[in-house]
Homo-oligomer: A and B are copies of this chain.
Amino acid sequence: MPDPRLSPLTTPCLLVDEARMKRNIDRLAQHTAALGVSLRPHLKTTKSVEAARYVLANGNGPATVSTLAEAEVFAGAGITDILYGVGISPDKLDRVLALHHAGCRLTVLLDCAAQAEAVVAASKASGIAIPAMIEIDSDGHRSGLTADDPALIEVGRVLHEGGAELCGVLCHAGESYGAIGRDAQAEFAEQERLAVVNAATALRNADLPCPVVSVGSTPTAHAAKDLTGVTEVRAGVHVFFDLVMAGIDVCDVDDIALSVLTTVIGHQPSRGWTICDAGWMAMSRDRGTADQRVDQGYGVVCDEMGQVIPGLIVIKANQEHGVIAPRPDFEGEVPDFPVGTRLRILPNHACATAAQHQQYHVIPETAGAALSTWSRFGGW
C-alpha cells in the first residue's frame, strides 16, 4: 500500500521515521540518566539544526561536533556549549576564537604538546582561555594518549600553566564497533571508563584540574553498566541507528530511523536483478556490514512503508544505480517490482548515507500528518 505523502518526493531521497528517532533518543537519554551522567550528543550524524533540537537536552544543550562548519552552524542556532571532537590543528584556531567571540564556548581536543602550545599561544594572543580536553586512547583505535604516558602530564601542564583552560579528558572506544552483543560491548565500555578515569586521576595527582571526564561511542554508551568517575557520555549514530549497529546487536533493524526512498528503473530478469535509482551516490560507498556476520551489501530493501522484504539487499551499486537481488543464501520467493515501484533501503552507516543528501523528509509520529523537511549541511 503506497503512502500518498511519499508520492511527490523525488527519488532517491532520505526519509526519517520520527517515532523511531524519538524512541532511539529516549533510550540513550534514559540509560545515561540512570547511570548518573550527562549526555553530550554528537551532531555529526544528523548535521541538521532541526534534528539537533530533538537530540540535545532541552533542544539546546551540550553538543559534540566533528567539524568547525558544524560548530559555526550550531552556534548560529544558539547552541553555545560545543566540543569539537577532532584533534585541533594550529591553522584552525582563528575560527575557534571567532566562535568564542560570537558567544560560543567551543572546546578543542588534543593529544600532544605541539597542539597544546598552539592553543596556549592563541589563548595568550586573544585573551581567551581556550577550553581544551586531552584525548585518551583506550583501545588503539585512533588518537589519544594512554593514562600512563608521561606526555599526558606534560600536555596538561602546557595547557594549564600557559593560560588555556584544561577541562579534562576524553576517550572514544572506537574498537567497540567490532564487539558483538551487549556483554562484549560492556567490556569495551569498562575499558574506556578505566582509561579515562585513570587519566583524570593522573592529572589530578599532578595538581592539574580535570573537571570533565568524557566517554563515548554508540556501542559503549548503550552497554555501559557503571560509569563511576565519568561525567559525560557522547554518542551520535544512535539517533538513527543503522545496519552496522544492528549487526552488532546495539539495536534491531526495526529501530533504524533512516532510509533512502528509491524508485525501480529497470530489471535484468535473467540475473534476477531489479535496478533502482539508489546507487552509491544516494547510499554512500560505506560497506560497514561487509565484515559483519551478515553482509547487507549496500542496504536492506524494504517496501515503501518501511517493512523489510525478506532476503533482499542492494548487492551492488554504481553512481546512480542500485542492483537489488536476494542475498546469496536466500531461498525464498522474491516479489516482482514493476518499473516505478517505490522501495526503501536501510543504510549500512547512517552518518555516511545522510552525508550524501541535503535534506531529510520526516515522516511524523502522528499518523497521517504531513511530512516535514529538515535541511542538512556539509562542508568544513
A residues at B contact (CB < 8 Å): 7, 10-13, 44, 66-68, 86-92, 95, 110-112, 114-115, 118, 137, 140, 142-143, 174, 263-268, 271, 275, 277, 280-282, 284-287, 318-321, 323, 338-340, 349, 351-352, 355-358, 378-380
Question: A142 and B321: CB pair below 8 A?
Answer: yes
Question: A351 and B143: CB pair below 8 A?
Answer: no
Question: A266 and B112: CB pair below 8 A?
Answer: yes
Question: B86 and A143: CB pair below 8 A?
Answer: no
Question: B267 and A340: CB pair below 8 A?
Answer: no
Most chain B C-beta atoms within 10 Å of own C-beta, residue among A7, A174, A268 = A268
A sample of 4 more A-B contacts (CB under 8 A), given A89-B339, A285-B349, A355-B356, is: A66-B281, A87-B277, A143-B265, A282-B380
Q: How far is the CA of A285 from the CA of B323 in the complex (A)?
A: 19
Question: A89 and B277: CB pair below 8 A?
Answer: yes
Residues on B with beta carbons closer than 8 Å to the beta carbon of A110: 266
* Interchain nearest-CB distance for A69 vs B (Å): 9
Question: B266 and A87: CB pair below 8 A?
Answer: yes
Q: How far is the CA of A142 from the CA of B318 in the complex (A)?
A: 9
Query: Which B residue's beta carbon lies closest to that of A66?
Result: B320
A-B contact pairs, 30 of them (CB 8 A): A11-B89, A11-B91, A12-B380, A13-B380, A67-B281, A87-B265, A87-B275, A87-B321, A89-B263, A89-B265, A90-B340, A91-B340, A111-B266, A112-B267, A114-B339, A115-B339, A118-B339, A137-B268, A142-B318, A142-B321, A143-B265, A143-B268, A143-B321, A174-B318, A284-B285, A285-B349, A287-B287, A355-B356, A356-B378, A357-B379
Question: B285 and A352: CB pair below 8 A?
Answer: yes
Q: How far is the CA of A263 from the CA of B86 in the complex (A)?
A: 12
Residues on B with beta carbons closer than 8 Å to the beta carbon of A356: 355, 378
* Interchain nearest-CB distance for A363 vs B (Å): 19
Residues on B with beta carbons closer than 8 Å to the beta carbon of A89: 11, 263-265, 277, 339-340
Q: How far is the CA of A284 from the CA of B137 in the complex (A)?
A: 25
Question: A319 and B285: CB pair below 8 A?
Answer: no
Question: A140 and B265: CB pair below 8 A?
Answer: no
Q: How far is the CA of A378 from the CA of B271 in the complex (A)?
A: 31
Q: How far is the CA of A85 from the CA of B78 in the complex (A)?
A: 44
Residues on B with beta carbons closer than 8 Å to the beta carbon of A319: 44, 66, 351
Q: How far is the CA of A51 from the CA of B110 in the complex (A)?
A: 38
Q: Given the known inter-chain contacts A91-B263, A266-B143, A380-B11, please indicate yes or no for A321 contacting B285, CB distance below 8 A.
A: no
Q: How far is the CA of A44 from the CA of B318 in the complex (A)?
A: 12
Query: Which B residue's beta carbon lies closest to that of A276?
Result: B89
Residues on B with beta carbons closer than 8 Å to the beta carbon of A174: 318
Query: Which B residue's beta carbon lies closest to that of A281?
Result: B355
Question: A90 and B339: CB pair below 8 A?
Answer: yes
Residues on B with beta carbons closer than 8 Å to the beta carbon of A338: 114
Question: B86 and A321: CB pair below 8 A?
Answer: yes
Q: How far is the CA of A281 from the CA of B285 in the complex (A)?
A: 11
Q: How far is the CA of A268 from the CA of B139 in the complex (A)?
A: 13
* Interchain nearest-CB distance for A254 vs B (Å): 25
Residues on B with beta carbons closer than 8 Å to the beta carbon of A88: 265
Question: B143 and A275: CB pair below 8 A?
Answer: yes
Residues on B with beta carbons closer than 8 Å to the beta carbon of A87: 265-266, 275, 277, 321
Residues on B with beta carbons closer than 8 Å to the beta carbon of A111: 266
- The residue from B90, B275, B282, B358 contacting A142, defined by CB atoms under 8 A apart: B275
* Interchain nearest-CB distance for A127 vs B (Å): 23
Q: How far is the CA of A284 from the CA of B351 in the complex (A)?
A: 12
